Amino acid sequence: MSEFKPVRFVDVALEGQFWRERLETVLTRTIPSQHVQLGKQGVLLSLTLPNQSLPLSVPGNEHDSGQVLWDSDAGKWIEAASYALSHRRDPDIEAWIENIVDDLEKAQAPDGYLNCWYLQREPDKRWTNLRDNHELYNLGHLLEGGIAYFLATGRRRLLDILERYVDHVCKTFGPNPGQKRGYCGHQEIELALVKLYRLTGDRMHLDLAAYFMNERGRQPHYFDQEAVERGENPRDFRAKRYEYNQSHRPVREQTKVVGHAVRAMYMLSAMADLAAELNDDSLKKACEVLWADVISSKIYITSGLGPAAANEGFTEDHDLPNDTAYAETCASVGLIFWAHRMLHLELDGRYADVLEQALFNGALTGLSRDGERYFYSNPLESDGRRGRWAWHPCPCCTMNSSRLIASIGGYFVSASENAIAFHLYGGVSTNIQLATGNVFLRETSAYPFFGSIRIEVSPDAPAEFTINLRIPGWAHEAEASVGGCAVDVTACTRNGYLAISRLWNAGDTIALELPISPKRIYAHPSVKQDIGRVALKRGPLVYCVEEVDNPGGAVQQLKLPRDARIKTVERGDLFDGVVTLTASKTKSGETACTGMRPRSFRAAG
Ligand SMILES: [Zn+2]
């Protein structure tokens, strides 16, 4: 297991334009507008119990209306809003959160149970359908919200409410007589409990997370048993198979990533957390096997996951259609969570490469530049009729975008006792406490568009330690120097990180040059939808071709001969500065592919 721990986002200042802009948009527009939407959609009202006036549920299809998830939407918004408060306090946001906490406090049952849907609709049926109805999932998101709010403000009323609920869950679930041996159909509670354990140090919280993970997929199957207890046929399960929620077999025996993509990513994130906390090699090994599976045959070039809408998830290996790709924003965000945790099991650039790829091409695309419109699915090809939503009946992706961006600083740097590791670049500064004392670091770059990176290293007193710099897998022949003296990058790079160990003095400067040039990327030959097709990447950014840059022709008909030269163009006029690509026409005049922009900056939507 790695000794590295992430440097928290509150300790990392975003100074580069790319991320500063996005963070500001999320803080000033996304978080408040999401609160308005939660009000409009009835989510906030659903927390005020009892409430008979709420227009609840689709007749005859109550559980499928999405309303059983509403507690989670409130929790995710509180989490994102609390990250915003960590950047700067805001009385309006705090008042909105306090109102929600008031409602939850009033709603909580005397025994600690707190699920607003069940308390309002079917109070006698709690814990009777873990397979479908998300009670523990909702608690997980509320818990992440409560933890974030406490860390941002020091206020622990919400956390206290939720700890009472967790105590109730601890009593309800377990191997002892009278307890339920169940677990949630939608994983989430496990990673939230690990977060709670890291805050409280209470072993009971970690043990409960491990219990849920270890029970998953055991026989006799809990979801069969509870269906029989409900008087239902276990086979009468909408998703048909337990692969859907990754409970088809115990997690350590799973060798293929299957089913609903977001559930899979949350589960794998929790498995990596538990592997780290429990020093559990069998869980780490299972994560590595499943990582290899998803990366070798189930991932889009955008790091989108899950091609199918039917199960919101995975199908066959190499089934990666472009126009019907589901590739839910939440799945890419979940992949970032998982990759980040894998990176802290083992400092390996493979994980950081995927994290970065998912961040720029699968997750960021989910939120518009104005911060108020969203993509749920992220197809790689469109006829122009798809645009971003102002909201979605199931708004899971909306708050996944905001909570990711509001805490993005936490993905840049990690530290151990005597080493620092940079995973991402883009203009950050931070103070890190090593065993040898405090070190101030400032990374300056125009990443992801340009690969010239400068890092100022200023320990309070001269000290020996190691700085690890990620050399992305796409960056060949990177060069580095310290104070003008060249570093042998090839000799000093291991697992994608260039390690520079020396006595550092205040004001020392590292220069890192990552060559960024357009590259043609071809899919695995088994991806039949991509035969004869090529994708273009420059650095971490996947590019797209749109009619707005190529007027007068159907972009699907464009051709890019293998010998066509691809040029980069700095466009200061486009989105305050991006780098676009153009390909010149060949002698035969075939190439009409005149303009391509990064996917995150596409005009559509
Ligand atoms: Zn989603």
Worst-scoring range by mean pLDDT, 149-158, 259-268, 356-365, 586-595?
Answer: 586-595
**Three-state SS at 519:** strand
Average pLDDT over every residue of 246-267: 98
pLDDT-derived band at 63 (thresholds 50, 70, 90) equals very low
Query: Residue 178's CB: how many other CB atoms inside 10 A?
Result: 7
Question: How far apart are the CA of 539 and the centre of ligand 1, in A?
Answer: 27
> Using alpha carbons only, how large is the chain's radius of gyration in Å?
24
Question: How far apart are the CA of 390 and the centre of ligand 1, in A?
Answer: 14
Question: How far apart are the CA of 601 and the centre of ligand 1, in A?
Answer: 20
CB 515 within 8 A of CB 451: yes
**419 DSSP β-pair partners:** 466
**Burial class of residue 248, CB neighbours in 10 A (0-12, 13-18, 19+):** middle
pLDDT-derived band at 350 (thresholds 50, 70, 90) equals very high
pLDDT-derived band at 557 (thresholds 50, 70, 90) equals confident
Question: How far apart are the CA of 171 and the centre of ligand 1, in A?
Answer: 31
Question: Considering the chain, what is the average pLDDT of its residues?
Answer: 93
Q: Which residues contact 461 (CB under 8 A, 6 or more apart)?
A: 436, 437
Tokens for 336, please give them: 């970032």
What letters, b where the CB count within 10 A reaches 16 and e where it falls short, cover 322-337? beebbbbbbbbbbbbb
Question: How far apart are the CA of 386 and the centre of ligand 1, in A?
Answer: 17
pLDDT digits (tens, 9 = 90+) for 393-418: 889 999 999 999 999 999 999 999 99
Question: How far apart are the CA of 145 and the centre of ligand 1, in A?
Answer: 17
How high is the pLDDT of residue 605?
47
How high is the pLDDT of residue 61?
45
Q: Say yes or no to pLDDT of 526 above 50.
A: yes
Question: How far apart are the CA of 240 and the centre of ligand 1, in A?
Answer: 21
Worst-scoring range by mean pLDDT, 49-58, 502-511, 525-534, 540-549?
Answer: 49-58
Residues designated catalytic: 312, 396
Question: How far apart are the CA of 392 and the centre of ligand 1, in A?
Answer: 9
Top-confidence residue, 378 or 577: 378
Q: Say yes or no to pLDDT of 322 above 70.
A: yes
| Chain centre to alpha carbon of residue 469 | 22
pLDDT digits (tens, 9 = 90+) for 67-92: 899 999 999 999 999 999 999 999 99
| Chain centre to alpha carbon of residue 206 | 22
Worst-scoring range by mean pLDDT, 18-32, 271-285, 385-399?
Answer: 385-399
Indicate the helix (H) or strand (E) that contains 437: strand 437-444
pLDDT-derived band at 282 (thresholds 50, 70, 90) equals very high
Q: Fill in the amino acid letter for 171.
A: K
What letters, b where the CB count within 10 A reaches 16 and e where it falls short, cover 399-413? bbbbbbbbbbbbbbb
Cα–Cα distance measured from residue 259 to residue 308, given in angstroms and rounded to the nearest whole number:
10
As separate numbers, helices (DSSP H) first and strands (DSSP E) second, the chain gives 17, 19
Top-confidence residue, 300 or 62: 300
How high is the pLDDT of residue 551?
79
Question: How far apart are the CA of 394 and the centre of ligand 1, in A?
Answer: 7
Task: Reply yes or no: is the peptide bond before residue 551 cis, omega within 30 of 0.
Answer: no
Cα–Cα distance measured from residue 570 to residue 516, given in angstroms and rounded to the nearest whole number:
13
How high is the pLDDT of residue 53?
62
pLDDT-derived band at 438 (thresholds 50, 70, 90) equals very high
pLDDT-derived band at 64 (thresholds 50, 70, 90) equals low
CB 467 within 8 A of CB 423: no
Question: How far apart are the CA of 278 and the centre of ligand 1, in A?
Answer: 30
pLDDT-derived band at 62 (thresholds 50, 70, 90) equals very low
Question: How far apart are the CA of 327 and the centre of ligand 1, in A?
Answer: 9
pLDDT-derived band at 595 (thresholds 50, 70, 90) equals low
**Three-state SS at 590:** coil
CB 436 within 8 A of CB 465: yes
**13 DSSP β-pair partners:** 429
Average pLDDT over every residue of 297-325: 96
Question: How far apart are the CA of 265 and the centre of ligand 1, in A?
Answer: 12
Q: Fill in the amino acid letter for 229.
A: E
Cα–Cα distance measured from residue 543 to residue 534, given in angstroms and rounded to the nearest whole number:
11
Average pLDDT over every residue of 57-74: 71
Among 339, 362, 356, 509, smallest CA distance to 447 is for 356
Task: Reply yes or no: is the peptide bond before residue 50 cis, omega within 30 of 0.
Answer: yes
Cα–Cα distance measured from residue 415 to residue 513, given in angstroms and rounded to the nearest whole number:
22
Counting Cα atoms < 13 Å in the Cβ hemisphere of 142 gives: 29
Question: How far apart are the CA of 331 and the centre of ligand 1, in A?
Answer: 7
How high is the pLDDT of residue 585?
61
CB 558 within 8 A of CB 545: yes
Average pLDDT over every residue of 132-146: 98
Cα–Cα distance measured from residue 397 to residue 76, given in angstroms and rounded to the nearest whole number:
10
Top-confidence residue, 529 or 576: 529
Q: Which residues contact 335 (CB under 8 A, 6 or more apart)?
A: 265, 303, 305, 354, 355, 358, 362
Question: How far apart are the CA of 393 and the centre of ligand 1, in A?
Answer: 11
Average pLDDT over every residue of 380-391: 87
Cα–Cα distance measured from residue 441 to residue 6, given in angstroms and rounded to the nearest whole number:
15
